[in-house]
Structure 1
Amino acid sequence: MSKKDALLFLDATTISVVVGCRDCGHWRAFAWSKLEGWAVAAAHEARVHPDERAAQKALHMALKRHRDTPTPPE
């Protein structure tokens, strides 16, 4: 499945993220980061589309990238 065919998607800018669902055309959510956006998408997917796992996988990958990113020294 390509990104354009994904059920849930993020519309991200440098400031914010809008989460959308192609199956639930009226449903939208707001997040401050892509990581938070995938968490919101995964929660929607679990509640409304329990047979889907794409957002769960995207959240897992985002968490892995976030964990592997070194924290800059203060």
Structure 2
Amino acid sequence: MANRPPARASSFSSQLWIWMLAFSTALLLLLGWSFLHLEPGTPSYVIGQVSAIVLSLTILGTLVALLSDWEPF
């Protein structure tokens, strides 16, 4: 039987990052679905694009925080 390292307890920070990642991903998926109903060139479409950029950056930042084991709390 191989020796395994002890399981690392999940901290509050990592749980928070995971929830934030899941929530942002769900919002981005819903926004992607809404693009099927938006007409390009309208103000709603532009707002959708800006929101998609913000959500993508949030997901990217959350992934960086998770992978670096950053614990601000």
TM-score class, shorter: 0.3 to 0.5
TM-score normalised according to structure 1 size:
0.41
Q: Which of the pair is proportionally richer in helix?
A: 2
Specify the structure having the higher radius of gyration (Cα).
Answer: 2
TM-score normalised according to structure 2 size:
0.42
Q: Which of the pair is proportionally richer in strand?
A: 1
